Chains A and B, each alone.
Chain A
Amino acid sequence: MATYYFNNKGEPATPFTVSGEEMVLKGRGIKAIAPDGIEAWRLSYNLVTKVVDVAYEGLSEEDAIAKKLEDGTAEAAATLQAEKDKRAVEEAE
């Protein structure tokens, strides 16, 4: 486990003490404990539960990337299909 600093929206901001403590001191950041060995893009600070969330928890970086791509593709396809369905309904009316 290691200290990580997040901005007030819960996004990763810095792992460095000097920069992070300045953020906290000036009200721009949150100090939290994050798991080791997880790339920062997967980290976020949950403003409700007050803990660090890990995206695709339990997966390796390689598997997390693959799952992220899979999810993104599925989401885009679903959005496009919904748009087509909506248009078809409008044209039928």
Chain B
Amino acid sequence: MSNLSKLFGGSSTTDPRKEGLPLFGLWGGSGDQNTQMNYRVFDSNFRVVSSPWAAVTSTTSNYRFGMLSDGSHAYAMNDHGTDFHSDLTTQGYSSWTNYQKSIYQVDQYPHCFHYTVSREGFPTWQSYHQFTSSFEYQVGWTKLNMVLPEGVRPRRTFTNRRHTMREFMGNSDCNCDYYNYSSHLVDPAVYNYATGTGYNEKNKMLVMIHSGDEGGNTSKSIHIFKSSVDLNATTRIKDFFDNLEWTEYFTDTWTNQNNKDWCVVVGNNCWVGFGLKQSNSKRYGVFDCNQKGVGVDTTGASRQWSTWQDFAGSTTTSYGATQGHQYYTKFQTTWDGTWGMIYSPYYYYGCGINAFAMSLENPRKFININQTKSSRVNPYIAWGRTGFHGGKSDNCDSEVWQTYAFAFDPKDSDHTVDTRVYKGSTSGEGAMPDNNSLVGGDFTNKTGVCSLDAMRTGLHGGTQTTNYPMLMGVNWWGSYGNADASYGGK
């Protein structure tokens, strides 16, 4: 493929999938979501990048205006909802106009749970008429957790259920590829239910869990497939399996409340993290999936590093796949693909966060991330080079919009030393103190709990006017390079 760097004699090429630093949408509206409302897309430096779209109204009965007035992209006259101020105690996915601010809305895939948002700033509410049976809500848990190169999000949607991998177009309900890999399974004990799959593009390695059922069965068979071709570059899924270099497995018995919650994180060093929401808490364990040889190390005990870690932060009642398959545990990565997190809400249907954040170079390096907001929240999204933010402001009336922001060191992958987390502050003096202290902290591997702090962004909600902001995921962050306002030279 020809590109500019080749034309100008450059020695390296940029992956055409590579995006600029993360963007986010910010929806703002008055208390009735009607009298005043607007929507903008910002970059990771909090600079607006979208175009205005004539969001003007002065009536109290017309929720459609500007580009939102297009009836063919709307289900109801107020798709965007009229209540962004709910506390998500009872508002699950079927209360979708309230639920849009749930932590469940955004994962590593570019599409979101209840909507899709373009870089230009046009939000579209999807699954208008049958949202209770669409792809994401029912079987989104079958999507592969991807570890990808810098700036790349999954552009193809592969799923795994039973002994079959499929490809879908985005989060539509239509198959575009199918492959039954039963003949490649090497564990003599056949478990029929694939319940968690991870892929590492650098290693071309696919790791999948098979269980005795899609509920609470604890029997596990873990297969490791190492191919010579990249799954994301194949024309058909079959091509990946036709070019396997080696396949190994191990078996174990793992405690789990619901198998649909399993997330599989395949590290660049071939150690693999397995994590899930477990009742109100979570569990995370790491296993060596490097090549051992046929019939070698086929038990979990022979491959496990240290012990399973229960979530060490604060927990309260919160919901996962046991309460509904759409509430499966989520996975997300930083823009540069060096850190990831397996996460679920702290509170009921999507407030706060309970997460294991792990190095994607070495999943044995991980800490606990904790934030205990119990009402009126927002999701978390990738932010900047090596961080995440979200979850804070619920009303910007006379306030600067704030997020819980945190960032990691992209070179930090040694699990024998503490993990450094950079944080923000709600004041300039807090963020840039008149001393030499670290704004953030160093956390003990495995048991350390990082309690998040809020950061002021500089985006102002406007004085004396109720403003309930909604943070939204954006489906394309723009091509990587100096045309991006966030481009920092790397």
**Which A residues lie at the B interface, using CB under 8 A?**
7, 9, 11-16, 18-20, 22-23, 26, 28-29, 39-41, 61, 65, 68-69, 72, 76, 79-80, 83, 86-87
Contact = CB atoms under 8 A, between A and B. Distances in A.
Which one of B86, B313, B441 has the highest number of Cβ atoms from chain A below 10 Å of its Cβ? B313
Interface in B78-94: 83, 85-87, 89-90
Given A19-B312, A80-B466, A14 B372 contact: no
Interface of B: 30-32, 35, 83, 85-87, 89-90, 312-317, 346-347, 368, 370, 372, 374-376, 395, 441-444, 447-449, 451, 453, 464-466
A22 B448 contact: yes
A83 B448 contact: no
28 contacts: A11-B314, A13-B314, A13-B449, A14-B314, A14-B370, A16-B312, A18-B312, A19-B312, A19-B313, A19-B448, A22-B443, A22-B444, A22-B447, A26-B442, A29-B451, A39-B316, A39-B317, A40-B372, A41-B346, A69-B90, A72-B87, A79-B31, A79-B466, A80-B31, A80-B466, A83-B31, A83-B32, A83-B35
Nearest to A29: B451
A12 B452 CA distance: 11
B48 to A, nearest CB: 25
A65 to B, nearest CB: 6
B85 A41 contact: no
A26 B466 contact: no
B447 A18 contact: yes
B375 A68 contact: yes
B441 A14 contact: no
B370 to A, nearest CB: 6
A79 B468 CA distance: 11
Contacts of A28: 441, 451
Contacts of A15: 314
B58 to A, nearest CB: 10
B466 A12 contact: no
Contact of A11 (B30, B372, B466): B372
Contacts of A61: 317
Contacts of B370: 13-14
Nearest to A66: B89
A66 B466 CA distance: 25
B31 A40 contact: no
Given A68-B89, A83-B30, A83-B31, A40 B464 contact: no
Nearest to B91: A69
Given A13-B313, A69-B90, A80-B32, A23 B372 contact: no
A72 B451 contact: no
A19 B368 contact: yes
A69 B95 CA distance: 15
A84 to B, nearest CB: 8
B483 to A, nearest CB: 40
B87 A7 contact: no
A46 B376 CA distance: 22
Given A76-B85, A83-B465, A13 B451 contact: yes
Contacts of B442: 26
B76 to A, nearest CB: 20
Nearest to B375: A72
Contacts of B372: 11-13, 40-41
Contacts of A86: 464
Which one of A9, A22, A28 has the highest number of Cβ atoms from chain B below 10 Å of its Cβ? A22
